[in-house]
Structure 1
Amino acid sequence: MPQLALYTFGVLKAPLADPSPLTREFYAAGEAVYGTIGRHPGYLARAEPAEGDRGVLFGADWGPWGQFAVPAWYDKGRTADTTALAATLSLWTGLRPAYDAVYTGLHRGALNRRHDWFERTGHPGHVLWWIPEGTVPTWQDGVSRLESLHDRCPAPDAFAFHRAFTPEGTATRAGDQAG
């Protein structure tokens, strides 16, 4: 049975290492959201560095999720002190569970604050695509599909929640899908 990969990417207004209250709020919200999403029905897994170092993304060991990658338009730092991005790569049983996890509860509250933390880049903030069961999506897969979504209309191989597709390639609405 196909599974759904979800890649999210945003450029932060301040580096992850910034000690300001706004950055601390972002971290606190993120930790709470990750805890909740990890228990959400339909959630299967997410990419995490083997060492789990806070703020270390580039050069971390991501195991089967591959080498960390970012879209071409990211033009900020790449060290622990200068990185100013938030990215996730996760795996779901279907559209509806992923949609519910993103647009309800704690994550919905964080989305309501996104303009406090993130720059407006004019690029999509997420991309979805179907993969065969047992496949682990890579960071490069997510980046390639996000860039593709930016460059063309949503398609079965790179789409967003508001213009989604079934595993068979039929256009659908994410909120209409069962998990």
Structure 2
Amino acid sequence: MTTDSAAPAAYELAQVNIARLKFPLDSPELKDFVDALDPVNAAADGADGFRWRLQSETGNATDVPVFGDEWLILNMTVWRDTNALTAFMYQGQHRELLARRHEWFERVKEAMTALWWVEAGNRPTVADAEKALLRLREQGPTPEAFTLRTTFPPPGGASV
């Protein structure tokens, strides 16, 4: 998305990803993942284009319920655009964690990541995230819920 630096963007990109744990969060098998949460969250917080992330009192969202399933963990963020999200995802420690995700999380065939546009300054809820994931699973990519492989521009916006 290109934005005029003189005018704030009307929309920002919301992102949710969920994962089904193979082991309890406090297990030795997930120690590397859990130990990396704070540094990766700090890197995200300082990344270009980062706007917001869902946090509980723990400073992350691994204890925020999603779909009523205690084995699912949630990450939800808001970014300036798809370019900012992609730049963060595939660099540094986050990239290293992505490479190891199958050690910690079950392989799931249904969509576990969804993107959608929110009005600038609005912060999505877990219910919004669940709705986006269900829409993507049922309808495939649409302007209301999509993926990085199949993106849509913000409402009334330029192509991303």
TM-score range, shorter chain: 0.7 to 0.9
Q: Paired residue for 1:10?
A: 19
* Cα distance change, pair 169–29 in 1 and its aligned pair in 2 (3 A): farther
> Secondary structure in 2 aligned to 1:165?
coil
Question: Please, which of 112, 124, 130 is the counterpart of residue 137 of structure 1?
Answer: 124
In the TM superposition, what is the alpha-carbon distance from 1:48 to its structure 2 partner?
Answer: 0.8
* Cα distance change, pair 28–153 in 1 and its aligned pair in 2 (3 A): same
Q: Paired residue for 1:81?
A: none
In the TM superposition, what is the alpha-carbon distance from 1:169 to its structure 2 partner?
Answer: 7.2
1:71 aligns with 2:80: no
Q: Which residue identity is paired with 1:143?
A: E
Distance (Å, rounded) in 1 between the aligned partners of 2:61 and 2:153: 35
Distance (Å, rounded) in 2 between the aligned partners of 1:134 and 1:168: 15
Structure 1, unaligned runs of 5 or more: 59-67, 78-83
TM-score (norm 1): 0.76
Q: Which moved more, 1:28-37 or 1:124-133?
A: 28-37
> Secondary structure in 1 aligned to 2:144?
coil
Question: Please, which of 17, 25, 31 is the counterpart of residue 24 of structure 1?
Answer: 31
Please tell me the root mean square deviation across aligned C-alpha atoms, in Å. 2.3
Distance (Å, rounded) in 2 between the aligned partners of 1:27 and 1:162: 28
Q: Which moved more, 1:129-138 or 1:161-170?
A: 161-170
Query: Do 1:8 and 1:87's aligned partners in 2 also have CA atoms closer than 8 Å?
Result: yes
Query: Do 1:43 and 1:92's aligned partners in 2 also have CA atoms closer than 8 Å?
Result: yes
* Cα distance change, pair 54–48 in 1 and its aligned pair in 2 (3 A): closer
> Secondary structure in 1 aligned to 2:120?
coil
Q: How does 1:34-113 map to 2 (within 5 A)?
A: 34-49=41-56, 51-52=57-58, 57-58=63-64, 68=65, 70-71=66-67, 74=69, 77=70, 84-113=71-100
1:158 aligns with 2:142: no
Query: Do 1:17 and 1:55's aligned partners in 2 also have CA atoms closer than 8 Å?
Result: no
Q: Percent identity?
A: 29
Question: Please, which of 135, 145, 150 is the counterpart of residue 148 of structure 1?
Answer: 135
Distance (Å, rounded) in 1 between the aligned partners of 2:24 and 2:72: 7
Distance (Å, rounded) in 2 between the aligned partners of 1:54 and 1:170: 31
Structure 2, unaligned runs of 5 or more: 1-9
1:9-36 CA-partner distances (Å, limit 9, x unpaired): 0001011132x1x211111122221111
Distance (Å, rounded) in 1 between the aligned partners of 2:99 and 2:47: 20
> Secondary structure in 2 aligned to 1:164?
coil
